[in-house]
Amino acid sequence: MKPAPFTYHRARDVAGAIALLAELGEDAKYLAGGQSLVAMMNFRLARPAHLVDLGGLRGELAYVREDDGVLRLGALTTHHQVESAPLGPDFAVLREAMSWIGHLPIRTRGTVGGSLAHGEATAEWCLLAVLLGAEVVVQGVGGRRTVPAEELFLGFFTTALEPEEMIVEVVFPRPAPHAALTEFAQRRGDFATVAAAVDLDAGRVVLGGVAPVPLRVPEAEAVLARGGTFAECAEAAAAAIDPPADGDGGAGYRRALTRTLLVQACEEAMRR
């Protein structure tokens, strides 16, 4: 339960951190809030040779800016900062969804960018980014590029980021006044067995816990588009997915959760 030895580096600016990571190679990792990475290192599931601590960049990369229907979050913004931010109705879904992330002492440290880069398939930020069509601003040695959230997650804990690339900002480009996320776990604060998110304005449905990545479900979105009921939408989603079976539940159980949670999410989104 103690991490393997590594060399600690402290980032002084974004460009310097990226250059350093490029130089150190694939055995180096950025350390943001560390709420997933340090736990994995304690278990020695991760054994990076180098860590580049981004804590010193909080002044530059931790912010919540809502302007004219567009929300920009600095990559080092913590979940708790979003939870406490005076967000208007356009992005209240984000504030409300934060309560699903672990517990308060996790949310005071964990970051938006760190969560996206980690790419856990039930992580709330991963679902929300896909749901709301977020644009993930990424900086590497060659400069900046924008990755649509839907193209960020390639598979189980695998993202489209190059090894040295750093998420610097997440942009939510359109208001989502009628969106909601809900989930189920055996114990509150655990990883979700199934998570369901819906944006009624954009007609999007995203599920977590049913595939290696946050999954958009076109079959369920088609039901919303033709004005079907929430129950029909949830039924279409349950029929479309091929969920895994593990200790938290079988495929049939996850389908049943999908039916229930998606209706709940739709109703919650409608009430907003």
Partner 1 sequence: MTEKLLISLTVNGEQHDDLVVESRHTLVDVLRHRLGLTGTHVGCEHGICGACTILLDGAPARACLIFAAQAEGQDIRTVESLADGGELNDLQRAFSAHHGLQCGFCTPGFLMLAEGFLAERPEATREEIREVVSANLCRCTGYQTIVDAIEDCARTRRGEVGEPR
**Cα separation of 126 and 241, whole Å?**
18
Smaller CB distance to partner 1: residue 39 or 231? Answer: 39
Q: Which among 70, 45, 29, 8 has a CA at the least distance from the CA of 159?
A: 29
105 near partner 1, judged by CB under 8 A: yes
> Where does this chain touch partner 1 (CB under 8 A) — which range of 127-135, 185-193, 225-233, 243-251?
185-193
CB–CB of 63/42 below 8 Å?
Answer: no
60-68, 88-96, 106-114, 125-133 -> range binding partner 1 (CB under 8 A): 106-114
Nearer to partner 1, 2 or 271 (CB): 2
Closest CB to partner 1 among 40 and 160? 40
Is residue 53 a contact point for partner 1 (CB under 8 A)?
yes
Q: Which is nearer to partner 1, 78 or 258 (CB)?
A: 78
Whole-number minimum distance, CB 33 to partner 1, in Å?
Answer: 8
CB 60 within 8 A of CB 74: yes
- Parallel, antiparallel or unpaired: strands 50-53 and 7-10: parallel
- 205, 197 in Cβ contact below 8 A? yes
Assess 106 for contact with partner 1 (CB under 8 A): yes
Which tokens is 158 given? 């695998």
Helix (H, G, I), strand (E, B) or coil at 160: coil
How near is the Cβ of 207 to partner 1 at its closest, in Å? 25
Comparing C-alpha atoms, which of 99, 122, 98 is closest to residue 112? 98
- 42 lies in the site for partner 1, by CB under 8 A: yes
Q: What is the 3-state secondary structure (H, E, C) of 103-157?
A: CHHHHCCCEHHHHHHHCCCCCHHHHHHHHCCCEEEEEECCEEEEEEHHHHEEECC
Interface with partner 1, residue 6, by CB under 8 A: yes
245 binds partner 1 (CB under 8 A): no
Tell me the C-alpha distance between 35 and 52, whole Å: 15
Which residue of 15, 104, 141, 154 would you call a contact of partner 1, by CB under 8 A? 104
Identify which of 48, 54, 76, 47 has the alpha carbon closest to the alpha carbon of residue 10. Answer: 54
Q: Does 7 bind partner 1 (CB under 8 A)?
A: yes
Count the Cβ atoms, other than its own, within 10 Å of residue 95: 16
- Compare residues 60 and 162 and give the one whose CB is closer to partner 1: 60
Single out the segment in contact with partner 1 by CB under 8 A; choices: 104-112, 134-142, 193-201, 255-263: 104-112
Question: Contact between 157 and partner 1 (CB under 8 A)?
Answer: no
What number of chain residues touch partner 1 (CB under 8 A)?
A: 32
- Stretch of 69-77, 88-96, 101-109, 138-146 lying at the interface with partner 1 (CB under 8 A): 101-109
What contacts 190, CB < 8 A, 6 or more positions away? none
**Which residues would be at the binding site for partner 1 (CB under 8 A)?**
1-8, 10, 31, 34-35, 38-39, 41-43, 51, 53, 55, 80, 99, 102-106, 108-109, 187-189
